[in-house]
Chains A and B, each alone.
Chain A
Amino acid sequence: MSVGLEHFLVLGAVLFAIGIYLALTKRNAVAVLMGIELMFNAVNVTFVAFSRFVESASPLTGHVFVVFIITVAAAEAAVALALAVLVYRNRETINIDEINLLKW
């Protein structure tokens, strides 16, 4: 049986779900960031799947969007990790449960 658009969309959805679960449940800030990266990838898969299967005037716009997503994700990862290191330096921990005091 052939592999259609739905297969890739389901794959993207599953990856997105795993990413959200990771982001919501993990205690370590770096693990949360890994979840976010996974979500970005899920979105990328969906974009590319659409640009491959769906009829459109310029099919490769999906790819251009994925390029933008990759750059933004890289920038976001850098800043988020810098924040994590800074939080670690001030609070000696990056365990999200403990970073809940607003009196910074």
Chain B
Amino acid sequence: MPFDWLRAGPPLAEWWDLRDLGNAVGGLLGWIDDRGGPSWLPYVVSGLIGIVGILLWSVFSQLFFVWAERRLVARIQVRLGPNRAGPLGLLQPVADALKVLTKEMITPRNADRLLFWASPILVMVPALVVFAVLPFGERMVLADLNVGVLFVIAIGSINTIVVFMAGWSSSNKFSLLGAMRTVAMLISYELVQVLALLAVVVFTNSMRMGAIVGWQDDFNTWIVFVQPLALLAYIFAGAVEINRTPTDIAEAESEIVAGYHTEYGGIRWGMFQLAEYVAGFAIAAIVVTMYLGGWTLWGLEEWVPGWLIFLGKLYGFFFVFIWMRGTLPRLRVDQLMGFAWKYLLPLLLVNVLLAGLEVLIWQENGFAAEAVLPAFAVANWALAVVLVVGWGQVLGHLRPEHRAKRPVLVKEVGAILYEPYPLRPGGSVPEA
């Protein structure tokens, strides 16, 4: 019988027990079975409920978060943010949505019709499909695949193709430049994501999202305590994947106007914006599930509904992206590439090696989890700091002359103070 796991688990709580919406769906399936519906009907029904639920939730929370982001970034920038449309500017996203819907959708003359039409639709696919695997509550997950983590990475890699299609098909120099930059960047950071998530799977030795949350619940240690480096790397790689500062290379406004979605107007451009936010939620949801204990909060999930905790953590974490957007300047493309290949990858390889060693020690001698995990936590945090600073020194990122030097204050006029660099027109500082 399909979806028997909905019926398995603790004795099915009443359907109105909203702490886990899975109960309600389970109750509905039971009702359908009693009515003797065809065998495939419950399968279709629960699938549809899941899909509609994810769609509605993501679109409406995107609307809310457009407003929240603009208010928060405004607060960071000592200004008010939208407060004209509706009370406290709450209707601003609705106004934006209407504006985007009514704007005309222009197609450039020698655009590549098929790809130009397809890419705004396809840009939503990776952002939404990732949610199928993420558990909002104990039984609130659309498809708890036992290759969950790999599924998340695979869907993320489709994003690369769609970005290229958008840039290539709008046949404009700036879009192509933006698209090629983004594709190269997404590929190098896909590897960083794989290694960051691998470190988690090494500990929970299962790729099923439910099992990962279960592991964090049983040992009630969040994986962020045991793997801080992996979380930092994943946050940065996540910021790269959804093109947010400090890595919004794709639509680097100050450089190549708006990157790969320059030529899109109207709702097509709206789809790109919607996809960016929904992908942001997806990254935040993955981080919360993998590193911050998913929908469990050390037992609180008995009273407070699991999905409320999950959403609270998700929005709380999404604030980090908003905060980064409000403060950090943008990195250049080659600096980003160098950072991924030369700095992050070796670090993460070492991190996965250490995680493997630790789990080996733990499993071989069969230590008690309460003793071993705190020890690992302390060791890993210390190691993380040592690795980050040490590797930074080795690569010369933190070399003294790279640090800012204050100007020299002079009283009288006419003194030439410094011996000029070898006269290379416009070259950058020769790598010492």
Chain A–chain B contact at Cβ < 8 A: no
